[in-house]
Structure 1
Amino acid sequence: MRCLWMTLLVLASGCDAIDLELFQHKPLSRFEAEPPGDICEHGGRRVLTGLDTNNDGVLDDTEVRTTDYDCNRAPPEVLVVTRTLLPGTTCPLGGELVEAGLDVNGDGELEAEEVSQSAITCRESSTVVYRVSDVDSYPLACDEGTSLVEAGPDLDADGALDDSERRAQTAVCAPASTVRVRLQIEPPGARCASGGTRLNVGTDANGNGTLEDSEVATRTYVCLSTNTFTGDYFLRDAVDLEVLRAFSRIEGTLNIQDTALPEIVLPSLVAVEGPLFVGGNTALTRLELEGLSFVGGGVSLYTNPELVTLTLGGPTEQDILWVEGDFELQQNPKLASLDGMKSVQPRGNLSLFDNDSLTDPGSWHLTQLPGSLDVIGNEQLTRLPFRALLRVGGSIAINENPALVGLELTRLETVGNTVTIHRNGSLTDLTGLPVLRTIQEGLYVTDNDSLVSTAGLGELTTVSWLHVADNDVLAACDFPRLMTIPGRFDLMRNKALARLGRFPSLVYLPRLTLAQNDSLNDPSGLDRLSSMEELEVTGNASLRNMDGLNHLRTLAKLKVDSNPALERLSLDGLQRVNETLEIIGNPALPTCMANLFANRVFNGITRTIEGNDDTPTCAPPPDGLTGLDASPVEGRLR
């Protein structure tokens, strides 16, 4: 009996210590990605377990009791095997067979079934040729004259350096006739990964017929292309990358598109004879092609969302990367600096488009651009990197760069087509163009919200069209040396502009439009002009008279339309309008005054006067003057 009571006592006390509700909660698990780090070197999966104490069917953070890790194994190593090819049909001078693949079985040997990429590269032997020429545009201050030395491999074996064979250049202060060049072997190293040729450049100062080391003023280098791959190459994964590392020259296109590679560094690649495409690489943070000196097509770098380091060509003015086509840098949102591309020399167009983090443009070694320059939609760009640029053969478009405060095209002299400066919200003036003299086509300055002045174009003498519009705070539109505008000048919708501007040198302007400038009350500044083909003055809310245009003598067409404050036409010096005359919708301008004016100057075909102030009458003209109608004329006269 005593034993029974003890058993009951134990059972009773044991039940008091058990929480029966714990057995009612469902166990749950949750899986999360584990990034590479101390716990899992190659990443993996985190396994969280616990009880669903709130019975919501979800394992909350407060319900987690244990955490385990399922780590990924190290990925298979990429193995590369290179075999020498003896001279033969495929490679007359010999070459290499490069095979690569993943070491799937981990034995450290690349077996036949593991090979996923292979390529043949051939040795080449090209003589280095060069040319020396006198130049007046290279950015060196040389009292005795400047010479440009260009060099490259003689690929077509014609004994002369063609433009498409250029791989290096340097400048020296001396006339071309006195420049001497000495070639010597450059061993493999930092300058040329596979070796090459060094060009020592200078003058034979002591006249002994030899260019000695002490006489060398500058050097440049032509690197060897010892391993040439023929065909287009597509870089997709780590295996392709290891094979590509063996190439020094590609006779075709290089495509680096839609890869998952985080870094691509190719120090030995010297030339790509076709275009180069780098785009859609979602994980790519670093691309370095420092040895690249030639691309036979265009270069397009686009939509690489993580790219922060970009190097194309070497760091000095001698380490030029010649691009025979266009160069496009587009939609690389994390790229902050252009310093790694300062040696790129395109022979086509150059475009910097929608690179939102671009803040450090560096200073590009570009002096001539045969094509067009477009800098558009770069959110944080504060200045342009083209301080050495002298000439642009095509157009320039500087558009929609909201942080841009300076143009810094400080050496630019001529532009072969148009210049557009549009929607740069922080730009207050046009300083940075101090020596620009000629724009062959139009200059368009539009929609720049902070632009107060056009100051900065003080040397501009010729532009075919001038269009200044929609700059809300523009207060000064002065072009002190502008002499001719063969096309037209449109000054439109500049809300704060009170005066037309100063054009003291302008002697030729066929067409002038002053339209919808709300504050314009002084149209003076064109004092040297005596004739035009067309003058249109439309919708200027504050304009009361046109006294500032009294110097005009002849017009073919005159239109004065919808200027609500206009009280008199003036134009006292005008003698003839010989095609069309329209004076329409100026409610403060007496109709009789408009008719007197028309009777005095108009001898054309179409005359329209309507919608002006019909109320006042005008005094008769002074005795002795003819051709004046003293009585007001209402309505429409033709």
Structure 2
Amino acid sequence: MQKYILAALAAAGSAYAACSASATLTISNAADASALASCKTFTGNIAIATDTVDPINIPSVRTIRGDLIANNVSTMNQLGADSVEIITGTFGLNDVQTLSVLSFPKLTAVESIIWQGLPNLNGLNFDASVQQASRVDIQNTFLASLKGINLKMVDELYLANNGMLQEVDLQLGNVSHALTLDNNGDRLQASFPNLIWAYNLTFRTAPSVSLPSLKYVNGSMGFYETAVSEIFAANLTRVGGSFSLEDNPELFNLSFPLLQTIDGGFRLAENPKVADLTGFPALKNIGGAFNVSGEFESVALPSLGDVRGAFYIASTEDIKSECDKYKSVNGPNKIIKGKFTCESKPTASSGGGSGGSSTGSGSGTTSSGSAALLDVSSTAMMGWTGFLAAMLGLL
């Protein structure tokens, strides 16, 4: 009898050992993956060997308490886990050249998604959709959409150089660090219908961006080299850092009807189709510099009450009356407190200095607008940590 008990204990110990790894478990073939079939939870990191050829499916495991990584795997075309719901660490795929099928139908929560160099991955088989992640960084893939990733909140979302990416439609409510779209598909439609606040927002070479619910940006916000024709943020009231609109050749319509405060600088340049700067009727306070140049005929800021930095306007059109209007409120104890420069129809030889210009004295700062960060309420940021703790308690 004792012999059978010892055998049973040995088998149990072996099974437990198979479900954990003090270092990293390396999977080299399908058989290695199948060996985890007895595990509901695997504790430790899992790495796919660089010379793996077999399609890899990890069966039965519901939780990976660690990372799942595939780096420089040149010949594996399929990776999946039919039961995995949670990955507490990083789900990392880097330079997996032939990967065309990624199947995690029950995955809903992961600490970080970091994918780079996946030239054959066109879509995701993520039926349950990833709803919780602190960081998502996807670069240089063949993905056409992010269907299968539908986050409610995130610390950082970075999507860059995904040339086939034409659709991003996420139900994000807040972004606690930064959201960046940079050089993705040439017809990309980016929609964030529920996004209320973010720390930093950066959109570069994005053809279409929708932010209908956005109220607060605690850091900075910028649109650079995009193909957008219109930018509407009907509910935005404050930008806590700088606000930049630079080199957007198709942009002609701006509407920020409730925006009252920009705590940093405001910069608008190289937007040749913006004929009138009239989309900021409520703008009252600018904590940094106001720097605007273009081909506009009017600059209407009817609510302007305080500009702490330098004030610069230059237009290829005749805006002398605008120059006179704003110069009259320039001075240490007036609305515009920094150095004042206004150029109406500046000539090429003026170098931005003469040719119908008005100047004033004062001290001020300049700002070009990059990206900064945000403070979140404890209730809103319960998010990933609370969800993960609750889920692990059920397993």
Q: Normalization by structure 1: what TM-score?
A: 0.50
Looking at secondary structure, tell me which structure has more strand per residue.
2
Match of 1:459 among 216, 235, 244: 235
* Structure with max Cα Rg: 1
Q: Distance in 1 between matches of 2:125 and 2:193?
A: 18
Give 1:366's aligned residue: 151
**Same amino acid, percent of matched pairs:** 17
Q: Given residue 219 of structure 2, which amino acid in structure 1 is its aligned partner? A: E
Aligned residues: 350
Give 1:127's aligned residue: none
8 Å contact 1:493–1:515 — kept in the other structure? Answer: no
Alpha-carbon offset, residue 242 of structure 1? 4.0
Give 1:493's aligned residue: 270
Match of 2:355 among 569, 587, 597: 587
- What secondary structure does 1:292 align onto? coil
Give 1:196's aligned residue: none
1:200-215 equivalences under 5 Å are none
In the alignment, structure 1 residue 444 sits paired with structure 2 residue 222: yes
In the alignment, structure 1 residue 349 sits paired with structure 2 residue 132: no
1:519-538 equivalences under 5 Å are 519-524=295-300, 526-537=301-312
Give 2:180's aligned residue: 397
8 Å contact 1:330–1:353 — kept in the other structure? Answer: yes
Which string of whole-angstrom CA distances, capped at 9 and with x for unpartnered residues, describes residues 33-60 of structure 1?
Answer: xxxxxxxxxxxxxxxxxxxxxxxxxxxx
Alpha-carbon offset, residue 341 of structure 1? 6.5
Which string of whole-angstrom CA distances, capped at 9 and with x for unpartnered residues, describes residues 154-179 of structure 1?
Answer: xxxxxxxxxxxxxxxxxxxxxxxxxx
8 Å contact 1:312–1:321 — kept in the other structure? Answer: no
In the alignment, structure 1 residue 384 sits paired with structure 2 residue 384: no
In the alignment, structure 1 residue 299 sits paired with structure 2 residue 97: no
In the alignment, structure 1 residue 333 sits paired with structure 2 residue 119: yes
Higher relative contact order (CA 8 A, sep 6+): 2
Which string of whole-angstrom CA distances, capped at 9 and with x for unpartnered residues, describes residues 72-101 of structure 1?
Answer: xxxxxxxxxxx997465xx7xx516xxxxx
8 Å contact 1:263–1:284 — kept in the other structure? Answer: yes
Give 1:514's aligned residue: 291
| Greater alpha carbon shift after TM alignment, 530-539 vs 501-510 | 530-539
Alpha-carbon offset, residue 358 of structure 1? 1.3
8 Å contact 1:229–1:247 — kept in the other structure? Answer: no
8 Å contact 1:298–1:326 — kept in the other structure? Answer: yes
Q: Distance in 2 between matches of 1:122 and 1:442?
A: 49
- What secondary structure does 1:241 align onto? helix
Cα distance change of structure 1 residues 534 and 328 upon mapping to structure 2, 3 Å threshold: same
Alpha-carbon offset, residue 234 of structure 1? 0.6
Cα distance change of structure 1 residues 510 and 550 upon mapping to structure 2, 3 Å threshold: farther
Give 2:12's aligned residue: 95
Which string of whole-angstrom CA distances, capped at 9 and with x for unpartnered residues, describes residues 563-599 of structure 1?
Answer: 46159xxxxxxxxxxxxxxx9722234xxxx5xx86x
Q: Given residue 261 of structure 1, which amino acid in structure 2 is its aligned partner? A: V
Give 2:378's aligned residue: none
Q: Distance in 1 between matches of 2:352 and 2:194?
A: 47
1:30-429 equivalences under 5 Å are 86=7, 88=9, 95=12, 120-122=14-16, 228-231=19-22, 232-314=24-106, 320-323=107-110, 325-340=111-126, 343-355=129-141, 357-362=142-147, 364-369=149-154, 371-386=155-170, 388-415=171-198, 417-424=199-206, 427=207, 429=208
Alpha-carbon offset, residue 345 of structure 1? 4.1
Give 2:367's aligned residue: none
- What secondary structure does 2:276 align onto? coil
8 Å contact 1:342–1:365 — kept in the other structure? Answer: no
- What secondary structure does 2:337 align onto? strand
Match of 1:480 among 257, 279, 286: 257
Q: Distance in 2 between matches of 1:342 and 1:375?
A: 21
Alpha-carbon offset, residue 365 of structure 1? 3.7
8 Å contact 1:342–1:366 — kept in the other structure? Answer: no
Alpha-carbon offset, residue 543 of structure 1? 4.8
Q: Distance in 1 between matches of 2:5 and 2:72?
A: 35
Q: Given residue 160 of structure 2, which amino acid in structure 1 is its aligned partner? A: I
Cα distance change of structure 1 residues 485 and 84 upon mapping to structure 2, 3 Å threshold: farther
Cα distance change of structure 1 residues 237 and 503 upon mapping to structure 2, 3 Å threshold: same
Cα distance change of structure 1 residues 342 and 301 upon mapping to structure 2, 3 Å threshold: farther
Which string of whole-angstrom CA distances, capped at 9 and with x for unpartnered residues, describes residues 101-140 of structure 1?
Answer: xxxxxxxxxxxxxxxxxxx3229xxxxxxxxxxxxxxxxx
Cα distance change of structure 1 residues 248 and 86 upon mapping to structure 2, 3 Å threshold: farther
Alpha-carbon offset, residue 397 of structure 1? 0.2
Q: Distance in 1 between matches of 2:41 and 2:275?
A: 62
Q: Distance in 2 between matches of 1:396 and 1:245?
A: 38
Which string of whole-angstrom CA distances, capped at 9 and with x for unpartnered residues, describes residues 450-482 of structure 1?
Answer: 221112x21111212211111112112221121
- What secondary structure does 2:20 align onto? strand
Structure 1 residue runs without a partner (length 5+): 1-82, 97-119, 124-226, 315-319, 568-582, 607-638
Structure 2 residue runs without a partner (length 5+): 365-395
- What secondary structure does 1:384 align onto? strand
8 Å contact 2:264–2:289 — kept in the other structure? Answer: no
Q: Distance in 1 between matches of 2:337 and 2:223?
A: 27
- What secondary structure does 1:284 align onto? coil
Q: Distance in 2 between matches of 1:295 and 1:282?
A: 24
Q: Distance in 2 between matches of 1:536 and 1:508?
A: 13
Alpha-carbon offset, residue 509 of structure 1? 1.6
- What secondary structure does 1:305 align onto? coil
Alpha-carbon offset, residue 300 of structure 1? 0.6
8 Å contact 1:85–1:95 — kept in the other structure? Answer: no
In the alignment, structure 1 residue 547 sits paired with structure 2 residue 332: no
Q: Given residue 173 of structure 2, which amino acid in structure 1 is its aligned partner? A: L
